[in-house]
Structure 1
Amino acid sequence: MASVFKRGVKATHAPRGENASDAGERRREQRDVRLDAALRAWTTRRGSHESNVSVAIWRRERSMAEVIRSRGRQLQRVGTARGNATWLFAEECAFLCETERLALFFDEREEECASVRAVYALMARTGVGWEEYLAYAHLRRLGYGCRRFGSAWTVDARSSDDWAKETGGIGRWGDGENGDGVKTGEVEVEPIAEPPVKRRRVEETRKKQRDLPSRRWWLAAGDDAHDWIGPEIDAAARARTESHALEYDESPVEARLTFQVYQPNRHFSKKSPDPVSFYVYVCSDRPPTGREARALLDQAQGKPVRVVSCRQSTVMMFTIAGG
């Protein structure tokens, strides 16, 4: 035990055979080495090496990016495989560019790839909201596989030219419009007027109510009846209840799922994907109503649904379940 508590040579003391000036010079040399290492680390170019970055070109006619050079396993759980090519959605391009795993070009003749800010602008023009991207990027950083609701992982190479529309997703992505009434894609159109809401209204039935004079409300001793009790009062109360209009909203519910999420898996395969773990509904302005929650659960077909709300780049999720 004595060797455990044995005191060594203090740092302020020079080793045996070395004077104080030599010890100070040695400490200065060690300090300079550490400073040089810190400066080299600070000035070193950050980011992935060019040889480890995948390259894609944005195809405007399909509102997707075609990967022309793939590196590593970065695209294992993103994109749609069509033959030997991989096609990426706008939110997938933004996340890969943000994490320095993809160089996106808007045209084949360009010499410099698009900046992250330019990719964000492209994502907004194609109808992907900022809250939707925050939810997507948050799930991807947690290790989940995230995909547009109903979008296909693989497409037959012999499919028609409209395969991008047919496999781009359903629900929120299948209608081809974002929340502002602008078509998804890069061509803006005038917002389409919403159809009038169909409502079935029960006609108000007004019945004449007998004017009851103001009388005492207590029951006097010996009285066997009271003006506030009896068939006449019941009829007046029933008429007052029936006079209120009852509304039954038969308008279609517009709440649609946003993403389908898969558990982390290093051996994920697009040809035989894992079962969906849960679904995500992005709704930042307000929580879903009861009818909307029921519609979301029906779309999920028994799977959990997590409602995502984004505030100031903070992503909050809560789960809804059917009773």
Structure 2
Amino acid sequence: MVAMQIFQVPPPLAEVVGKKGSMWTTIGIVRNSKIYCSIEETLFLAERGELSLLDADDRSVPLKDIYKKVGEGKSGCCWESFEVYRHLRSLGYIVGRHGISWTVKSIKNKPPSVEGTLEIEVIIDQKFEDLNLVNELFNNIRIDEVRPVFDVYPPNSKFRKSSPGNPSFVLCMTSGHPPSKPEIEDLERQCNGIPLKFCHVEYGRVSFFSFNRVELPVLP
């Protein structure tokens, strides 16, 4: 039996007002004892029939409207990003937005991977009742350049949002061309040594690749 979950908007975050099942251990961020889902998490669960999304007037939001919202690319998530998220989640990986901590406790225990991220997170937790602050953070995520998008963890039944540890890798989206060497080096600095993988989506096909340094032998 499918458990129906009730959400409230405005997007890009949806507040979970009724939940059931163990999936919430790896989906959504926790603030002030409430769970909030990003738009890609919301659509992923809606496609699986595991939630019912309500608007501000408690009217059901049809699936096609959620597709439209993702397609607009105005919530820090474009259609290609969603396809990557859906692909990884379907394989069993635990996937979170890069730079967005799972809980307040995990914020305090992690170094910022991008300059300014930690300060932004603290502001969000101090004033989370004003969801406009959170919406602004998501909306300011640029989706038209090579950038870290998701923190990806291996399947783990003991995963804890309060102490997630380092991700297995940080996934970066490309915009139709391979990243340059300076771009890769800049991303490596941002991610503090966590392995990087890159992803490209074309016609619904999700491809992953990575780069390694190679020393060529000196020819005589």
Cα shift at 1:276: 0.9
Q: Percent same amino acid among aligned pairs? A: 27
Distance 1:127 1:301, change over 3 A: closer
Determine which structure has the larger helix proportion and give its number: 2
Q: 5+ residue gaps in structure 1?
A: 1-47, 181-253
- TM-score relative to the length of structure 2: 0.77
Among 63, 67, 75, the alignment partner of 1:116 is: 63
Q: Give the conservation status (yes or no) of the 8 Å contact 1:294–1:322.
A: no
Output the amino acid matched with 1:160.
Answer: K
Structure 2 CA distance for partners of 1:72 and 1:161, relative to 1, 3 Å: closer
1:176 to 125, 137, 140: 140
Q: CA shift at 1:105, angstroms?
A: 1.2
Flag the 1:126–1:82 CA change in 2: closer, same or farther, 3 A: same
Question: How far did residue 106 of structure 1 move?
Answer: 1.8
Matched residue type, 2:97: R
1:161-200 → structure 2 map (5 Å cutoff): 161=128, 176-179=140-143
Bigger radius of gyration? 1
Which residue pairs with 1:316 in the alignment? 207
Q: 1:176 to 1:162 in 2, by over 3 A?
A: farther
Please state if 1:95 is matched with 2:44. Answer: yes
In structure 2, the CA distance between the partners of 1:163 and 1:150, relative to structure 1 (3 Å rule), is farther
Question: Which of 1 and 2 has higher RCO (CA within 8 Å, sep 6+)?
Answer: 2
Change in CA separation of 1:174 and 1:158 when aligned onto 2, cut-off 3 Å = closer
Q: 1:76 to 1:106 in 2, by over 3 A?
A: same
Report runs of 4+ in structure 1 exceeding 3 Å deviation.
155-158, 161-169, 177-180
* Aligned counterpart, 2:160: 269
Map 1:63-102 → 2, pairs under 5 A? 63-102=12-51
How many residues are matched? 194
Match of 1:217 in 2: none
TM (normalized to structure 1)? 0.54
- Paired residues of 2:196 and 2:210 also in contact (CA < 8 A): yes
Quote the offset at 1:162 in angstroms. 7.2
- From 287, 301, 307, the equivalent of 2:198 is 307
Q: 2:94 aligns with which of 119, 126, 145?
A: 145
RMSD: 2.7
Equivalent position of 2:10 in the other structure:
59
